[in-house]
Structure 1
Amino acid sequence: MTSKKPFTVAEHQSFDTLMMAACQVIGRHGYKGASVARIAEEAGISQGHCYKFFKSRDDILDHVIIWIMAQFENWSRKPSREGLGYLESEHHALEQFFSYQKKYPFFFRIMHEAEVETPTAWKSFADRRHAQYVDSLRSAIDSGEIRGYGPDQVDDLARFLSAVRRAIVFGAYEGTITDKIKVIANYDLFLRQALGFPI
């Protein structure tokens, strides 16, 4: 965003409305069809008002992946998740992902197209998520929950496991995975075997 002053409450609400409108438009028309005119109409504001927060259409679209993932993380961060072990946390995260997608059908399409359509924003998002995953794995290794991996292997392990999660998520989006309960159970079995948990 171009503004450097702190937002008022009304501006925060207006910004969130604009971002949600961009998500809805991308869900229907894809990134390529997400014009400022369509986003403004969806948000119920003038096109000029969009430029109060963003300098261009590309600037709006660059913010979508970061915004929607922040919304997802805030939505999925429940008190019951605290104190979960690594496997339970992974299981919970995948269930929450599918549940969020059911609530907001545009979610998968944004995830699917953002890497190609907004590569800089995607890289920023992907780097942050990778760092979080590395921290999660390192903590589980340090506590003895995950065995057989050393500190110099954590980065690669995070990439391997992220690829599996990505395959599940995009398989669900593309329709090749339809039984989400079964795939979560199989993912759990895979993690147990790959990370040395009891089966």
Structure 2
Amino acid sequence: MVISTSKTATAKRPVKLTRSEKNDDVKRRLFGAAAKMVGRYGYADASVARITDAAGVAQGTFYNHFENRQELLDQLLPVIGQQMVAFIRTRIEQASSELEKEVTRFRAFFDFLKETPEFLRILNEAEVYAPTGYQHHLDNISTAYVRLLKRARGPGQVGDYTDEELEVIVHVLMGARGYLSRRYAYGEDGPQAVPEHVFSAYEKLISVGLFNKADVLG
């Protein structure tokens, strides 16, 4: 067997993307740029010009993928929401109980905020500037969350809640993330470390509750 020592034989040829792969790459860049621009300027001032400039694509290319600016903005939060879910999912693989999984999910949410500091502004402003995307995001997250708790209820690791009650619980837990992130995850200078007592309080609340049953029963 003859082994060539020429540079041309060993050099890696550039990978040629298919048209579909190129389109996917452009959309990823546009979504990434849109997230940065909304995080920096807000929805109102995240213009197509700013987004395409940050993405490194022509404005004409933008309209090959989206009918208008609003279509992109309505898709932005659900896309980042799915990225968040994927990020959190990788963190719970080693958890042995449903309680441990939920505590890990909670911590992972705040870790995601550190890595994606623009997320909170994208979420908070979406209700006004991208209501379709906002509702889609809430539906995606809450539906998946309810499904997780139903699965945990089967082997008895979640209390005896009805399906309707589990939906209520999910929105309580989602609301806790929203309010606690505003209170503890961001300061005047931007993202900040979340105090450990936030995590310990959350774990106590979901594991043992708030009120003592003996006191309730009198």
Place the TM-score, normalised by the shorter chain, in its bin. Answer: 0.7 to 0.9
State how far apart, in whole Å, the 1-side matches of 2:208 and 2:187 are: 26
State how far apart, in whole Å, the 2-side matches of 1:65 and 1:169 are: 17
Q: Between Structure 1 and Structure 2, whose CA radius of gyration is higher?
A: 2
State how far apart, in whole Å, the 2-side matches of 1:96 and 1:17 are: 25
Give the partner amino acid of 1:194. G
Matches within 5 A, 1:73-92: 73-78=85-90, 81=93, 84-92=96-104
Partner of 1:179: 194
Q: Give the share of equivalent positions with the same residue, in percent.
A: 28
Following TM superposition, by how much is the alpha carbon of 1:25 offset from its aligned partner in structure 2, in angstroms?
Answer: 0.4
CA contact (8 A) 1:108 1:173 kept: no
Give the partner amino acid of 2:181. V
Following TM superposition, by how much is the alpha carbon of 1:148 offset from its aligned partner in structure 2, in angstroms?
Answer: 4.0
- Call closer, same or farther: CA 1:79–1:194 in 2, change over 3 Å: closer
- Call closer, same or farther: CA 1:12–1:58 in 2, change over 3 Å: same
Following TM superposition, by how much is the alpha carbon of 1:193 offset from its aligned partner in structure 2, in angstroms?
Answer: 2.1
Matches within 5 A, 1:42-191: 42-78=54-90, 81=93, 84-173=96-185, 175=187, 179-191=194-206
State how far apart, in whole Å, the 1-side matches of 2:169 and 2:92 are: 27
Give the partner amino acid of 1:77. R
CA deviation map 1:101-139 (0-9, x unaligned): 212221221122112211111111101211111112222
- Call closer, same or farther: CA 1:112–1:84 in 2, change over 3 Å: farther
State how far apart, in whole Å, the 2-side matches of 1:76 and 1:151 are: 24
Which of 47, 50, 55 aligns to 1:38? It is: 50
State how far apart, in whole Å, the 2-side matches of 1:75 and 1:159 are: 20
Runs of 4+, deviation exceeding 4 Å:
none
Q: TM-score, normalised by structure 1?
A: 0.84
Between the two proteins, the alignment pairs up a number of residues equal to 191
CA contact (8 A) 2:185 2:194 kept: no
DSSP-derived class of the 2:159 partner? coil
Alignment RMSD, CA only? 2.6
Where in structure 2 are there 5+ consecutive unaligned residues? 1-17, 211-218
- Call closer, same or farther: CA 1:61–1:15 in 2, change over 3 Å: same
State how far apart, in whole Å, the 1-side matches of 2:143 and 2:75 are: 20
Following TM superposition, by how much is the alpha carbon of 1:168 offset from its aligned partner in structure 2, in angstroms?
Answer: 1.6
Following TM superposition, by how much is the alpha carbon of 1:178 offset from its aligned partner in structure 2, in angstroms?
Answer: 5.8
Deviates more, 1:174-183 or 1:149-158: 174-183
Deviates more, 1:37-46 or 1:97-106: 97-106
CA contact (8 A) 1:112 1:170 kept: no
DSSP-derived class of the 2:46 partner? coil
Following TM superposition, by how much is the alpha carbon of 1:190 offset from its aligned partner in structure 2, in angstroms?
Answer: 0.7
Following TM superposition, by how much is the alpha carbon of 1:147 offset from its aligned partner in structure 2, in angstroms?
Answer: 2.4
Where in structure 1 are there 5+ consecutive unaligned residues? 1-5
Following TM superposition, by how much is the alpha carbon of 1:165 offset from its aligned partner in structure 2, in angstroms?
Answer: 2.5
CA deviation map 1:125-163 (0-9, x unaligned): 101211111112222222111224334422222222322
